[in-house]
Chains A and B, each alone.
Chain A
Amino acid sequence: MRTFSYVRAPDVETALRTIATEPNAKFLGGGTNLVDLMRENIERPDVVVDISRLPLTGIDELPGGGVRIGALVRNSSLAAHPLVRTRYPVVSQAVLGGASAQLRNMATVGGNLLQRTRCLYFYDEASACNKREPGSGCSALGGFTRNHGVLGVSDHCIAAHPSDLCVALAALDAEVEVESTRGTRRIPLTEFHHLPGSTPHVETALAPDELVTSVELPAPVTTRSRYRKVRDRASYAFALVSVAAALEVRDDTVTAARLALGGVAPKPWRATEAERVLLGAPATEESFRSAAEAELASATSQDGNDFKIELARRTIVATLRDLLTDRSAA
C-alpha cells in the first residue's frame, strides 16, 4: 500500500477544514472498503482523515415518527437497534443480509453509501475500466457478467452497486445530510448515486469536500417491510438480485407500495414503475407480476447476466407475496 499522512480528526469542524484544504484527502470511517481499495492501488490518497471517533453515532427518533441515523453508526448497531427493527424491518434485514459479522462490526452507514462497485474488472488493473481509468474502455462488456447490472447501465459501464442497506434506504425515501465548510445540505438517497452514462467515474452527488453526517428516514408508510436477497451462496455474498419492499393493503387493494432493487443496477434502484402499477391495484399475484414486468421492461443484458431479468421479476413477486401472506413480517 502506498503511504499517506494520517490525521485523526478530533471534531467535525477539523475534519471539514482538513478535507477542504488538502487536495487529495479521503475520509476513513470503518475502513472495510477504503483500506481494501488503497491496498489494490485503486484509491491513492495523500492524506487520510480518520473520522471514526467523531460523535456521529446516534440513532435518534424524530418528531413525526422518523429516525435520524448518524453516519458513523456501525452496521451491526443499526441492525440491532429496536427502533430500526420495529419500524423499518427492511433496513435491519438488509444490513444483516450483507457482508459478515466482522465487517458489520467495522463498517459505517456513511461508508456504506460510498462503497464502490465489486466489479472484478474495476479491481483488475490489467483490465480496461472507465470507472478506474476514464476513457480506457470496459472489459466487462463481452466479459464475465454474472454480477453486473441490467437496469440503468450504459455502453461505458455495466457495474452493479454492491450495497444492501442502500436498497432499503432507497425504498424508504431516505435523505442524506452532508456537511462542508460551505454549509449543510440534504440529498434524497435516490439522487445520491449517479447512473454511469458516459462518466462512470462520477459515482455520487457528494462534492470532494463534503462529509456525510447522517441519514434520515421519514416515518414509515407501513411497518410491513422486508428485504429478500438472492445470491450464489447462503450467506456472505453480494446480491445477484435483491428486493426491498414495503406494502400496505386495505380491503385487498394496495394502498401503499415502496420497492427498490439491488444487484441489478449501478445504483440502488427505486422501482417507480412497479410502484405505479401496484398503487390501487388488487393485492394479487397477477398485479405483482404486472408490476415486476413494468419495472424490468427497460432492462438490457449481456450473455452472462440475462438470467437476472427473470430472477428480478420473480424475486419482486415473491417478496410482495411474503409481505401479503406472512403475518410475522408485520
Chain B
Amino acid sequence: MAEVRLRVNGADHPLDIQPQVSLLDALREHLGLTGTKKGCDQGACGACTVLADGERINSCLALAVQYEGAEITTIEGIDHPLQAAFVRHDGFQCGYCTSGQICSAVGMLAEHKEGMPSAVTGQGSGSHLSGAEIRERMSGNLCRCGAYNGIVEAIQEVAG
C-alpha cells in the first residue's frame, strides 16, 4: 500500500491504495465519485474521461499514484453551460457516456481556444468550430446509443 494524496474537485484526499489502482478506480471505488464511468477500461471508449490540470485524459489508463499533485476535475466538479445544452439537444439516451462526453467537451473547448489543431483543421474550417471539427475532436468519446447528432448540436451551441 502507498499513501497517495489526490486533489479532486478542489479538495485533498489522502488515500491508502496499491500502485496498480487506476485513477478511475480510485475515484469510483475509493472516493465514491461514481459519476465517472467505466466503459471499456482500455482507452477505447472515453466514458472515463476526466480533466487533469484542465486537460482531458482517460482515467482508466492513468495510475492514480502518477496523478498525485494534479488538479483532477470529474463530472461532480463541473458546472458548465454544456450540461443544460446536452439536455436541450437530447445529447444522450442511456446517459452512460455523458459524464465522459461533457468532461471531454470542456477540455476540447479549452484546447480549441488555445489554438490546438485537429486532423480536419485546415480543410476549409478555419478557426470556427464546425460540426466536422467537433466530430473529429470528440472522436475519443463513443456513444453506443448513437446520440451523436444531439451531442454535436449541444457543443456547437455552447461554442457559439
Contacts and interface: CB of A to CB of B under 8 A. Distances in A.
B106 to A, nearest CB: 12
B99 interface: no
A6 B2 contact: yes
Contacts of B108: 101
Contact of B18 (A3, A40, A79, A235): A3
B37 interface: no
A50 B66 contact: yes
A314 to B, nearest CB: 20
Contacts of A99: 140
A79 B117 contact: yes
Nearest to B4: A6
Contact of A101 (B19, B121, B122, B140): B140
Contact of A35 (B61, B116, B140): B61
A297 interface: no
Nearest to A79: B117
A21 interface: no
B36 interface: no
A299 B58 CA distance: 37
Contacts of A93: 119
Interface string A60-87: 0000000000000000100110000100
A105 interface: yes
Contacts of A92: 117
A52 B19 contact: no
A136 B23 CA distance: 35
A38 B42 CA distance: 11
B104 interface: yes
Contact of A32 (B22, B43, B111): B43
Interface in A30-73: 31-32, 35-36, 38-40, 48, 50, 52
Contacts of A294: none
Interface residues of A, number: 36
B107 interface: yes
A124 to B, nearest CB: 13
Contacts of A76: 55, 111, 116
B66 A103 contact: no
A102 B142 CA distance: 13
Contact of B56 (A2, A36, A96, A105): A105
Contacts of B135: 234-235
A20 to B, nearest CB: 21
B20 interface: yes
Contacts of B57: 102, 105-106
Interface in B62-112: 62-63, 65-66, 104, 107-108, 111
A102 B20 contact: no
A102 B58 contact: yes
Contacts of B125: none
Contacts of A85: 117
A80 B110 CA distance: 14
Contacts of A234: 135-136, 139
Nearest to A37: B42
Contacts of A235: 119, 135-136, 139
Nearest to B116: A80
Centre residue among B57, B61, B65 by max chain A CB count within 10 A: B61
A252 to B, nearest CB: 26
Nearest to B48: A102
A1 interface: yes
Contacts of A103: 43, 58, 61, 140
Contacts of A307: none
A109 B54 CA distance: 21
B19 A96 contact: no
B41 interface: yes
A97 B135 CA distance: 13
A181 to B, nearest CB: 24
Contacts of A96: 117-119, 121
6 contacts: A3-B18, A3-B19, A31-B62, A35-B63, A101-B137, A234-B136
Interface of A: 1-6, 28, 31-32, 35-36, 38-40, 48, 50, 52, 76, 79-80, 85, 92-93, 96-97, 99-103, 105-106, 234-236, 328
Interface of B: 2, 18-20, 22, 41-43, 46, 49, 55-58, 61-63, 65-66, 104, 107-108, 111, 115-119, 121-122, 135-141
Given A50-B66, A52-B66, A234-B136, 8 more contacts: A4-B20, A31-B61, A48-B63, A96-B118, A102-B104, A105-B56, A105-B107, A106-B58
